[in-house]
Amino acid sequence: MKNWTTLLDGELRERALQTVDEIAEVLQVSQGLEGPTLSGGLAGRALLFAELQRGRPQLGHGGHAERLIHQAALAFEEKPLLPWLHGGFSGIAWSIERLGTLGLHGLEDMDEIDQALLELLSRQPWSADYDLIRGLVGLGVYALERLPRPLAVQCLEAIVARLEERSTRAGSGLSWWTPPHHLPPHQRAMYTAGCFNLGAAHGVPAVVALLALISRTGVAEKKARALAQGGARWLLANALPDSPGARFPSAVAPGVDVTPCRSAWCHGDPGVVLCLVVTAQALGDVQLEREALALAREAALRPVEESGVCDAGLCHGAAGLGHIYNRLYQVSGDATFKHTATEWFTRTLRMRRPGEGVAGFVFWSSPTGKNEDMGWIADKSLLHGVTGTALALLAAAQPHTPMWDGMLMASIPA
């Protein structure tokens, strides 16, 4: 992968940086009730201030990043969390490791966390979810960060074994079934017996990318590579042929009609093709990369009115799409991705509503997680709120490879 280049320039870049500064100013003095987690709380916010430190170290953002990560670690010590990456203690630990790559310090020794995860991963059969947000894939993202420590190697070996056990033959490839009790109520009503989930957040694409990244390290290399290749074949086989809209549905299941999906990281073509490009790069698979980038170009040219985007978040908003296409531009040099990324960041900045929300941003979300409670809210989080918006804008306006987006399975290997 070539060196990271600044996507935005001129007035648009200045607006992006000013917006990030205004968001940071609000977050720096915020005394809200956010928890300590990566996706929704203090650990995620620490990553933003760490990225700000990279661009302008003279402003002292690094000290604030360290304070936030210490607060997150203390909160975890006071109130136990589940182990998952986005909403649990492995995500806090992953953030600490990420800050360490920039010379910022959190906890010195996390071997106890590694040991606890290894004990969890040794349980057979694996009854929890397999996904990135709250399952095996997310734990794999953390374990990759801890390499080459022996406990991290053992964790990754166990993750590959658990994913192999959970895999199922599907057509000419492999896939991973999501049982109904792991689905939210609105999906469970449609997929009463479960489904194959094609979203990056909760489904097969992130599994495939993780396995490819593990194979690349040499841990369980042959097994992880074979699983990744089988999963990639299955994903490509489930692209809708000649679809006028999206090529990938959100999920597939026997007896349930397949329909195109919105454009987002969590579900839809952008997240799927990003995971496929990560997979191709990690495996050194030129043909897979060619096919993935062709699908990505189709997604990039999809009309905005068909995207379903209504806010500026990472998960399913404008900043998330901007960041995905920025990543694809950086790895390919394709002007199509540069143009689309720039357009989505332009839309992100236009979504500001002065005097509302957090630094002018409000998000269409549910504070309870229930569809019936959806509405416009002020959200400071990384995945759904303004912290993620700022991180994506900063990645587009600075000449630094982002150090935070491995949590989205978006960090394309060099």
Residue list for the binding site for Zn(2+): 266, 315-316
CA-based nearest residue to 206, from 291, 276, 143, 264: 276
- The mean pLDDT of 268-284, rounded to a whole number, is 98
Report the interhelical angle of 10-29 vs 335-350 (nearest 10°). 50
CA-based nearest residue to 56, from 17, 12, 11: 17
Number of other residues whose CB lies within 10 A of the CB of residue 113:
21
Task: Check residue 65 and give its pLDDT.
Answer: 95
DSSP letters for 111-165: HHHHHHHHHHHT-SS--SB-STTTBHHHHHHHHHHHTTSHHHHHHHHHHHHHHHH
Among the residue ranges 137-151, 168-182, 358-372, the one predicted with the least confidence is: 358-372
Which residues fall within 8 angstroms of residue 173, CB to CB, at 6 or more apart?
Answer: 230, 231, 232, 233, 234, 235, 237
Tell me the C-alpha distance between 308 and 328, whole Å: 21
For 240-275, the pLDDT digits (tens) are 987 777 999 999 999 999 887 899 999 999 999 999
For 6-57, the pLDDT digits (tens) are 999 999 999 999 999 999 999 998 766 689 999 999 999 999 999 999 988 8
H helix count then E strand count, the chain: 15, 6
Residue 57 corresponds to which tokens in the numbers above?
């170290």
- Res. 201 pLDDT band, cuts 50 70 90: very high
Task: Check residue 333 and give its pLDDT.
Answer: 97
- Res. 413 pLDDT band, cuts 50 70 90: confident
Cα–Cα–Cα angle for 202, 305, 131, nearest 5°?
Answer: 5
- The mean pLDDT of 301-325, rounded to a whole number, is 96
Task: Determine the residue type at 288.
Answer: L
Q: What 3-state DSSP class applies to 167?
A: strand
Residue list for the binding site: 266, 315-316
pLDDT above 70 covers what percent of the chain? 97
Number of other residues whose CB lies within 10 A of the CB of residue 128:
16
The DSSP bridge pattern shows strands 363-365 and 375-377 to be antiparallel
Tell me the C-alpha distance between 24 and 19, whole Å: 9
DSSP letters for 350-393: HT--TTSTBTTB-EEE-TTS-GGG-EEE----SSSSHHHHHHHH
Domain boundaries, the chain: 1-30+312-414, 34-108, 116-308
Burial (CB < 10 A; 0-12, 13-18, 19+), residue 283, is buried
Tell me the C-alpha distance between 411 and 402, whole Å: 8
Task: Check residue 57 and give its pLDDT.
Answer: 86
Residue 271 corresponds to which tokens in the numbers above?
């997240």
> CA 366 → CA 35, 173, 370, 378, distances in Å?
17, 36, 6, 11
DSSP letters for 228-274: HHHHHHHHHHTSPTT-SS-SS-SEE-TTS------SSSSSSHHHHHH
Asked: is 116-308 a CATH 3.30.360.10 domain? The reply is: no
Q: What 3-state DSSP class applies to 184?
A: coil
For 319-377, the pLDDT digits (tens) are 999 999 999 999 999 999 999 999 999 999 999 998 999 999 999 988 777 778 888 99
Among the residue ranges 43-52, 55-64, 88-97, the one predicted with the least confidence is: 55-64
Tell me the C-alpha distance between 339 and 348, whole Å: 14
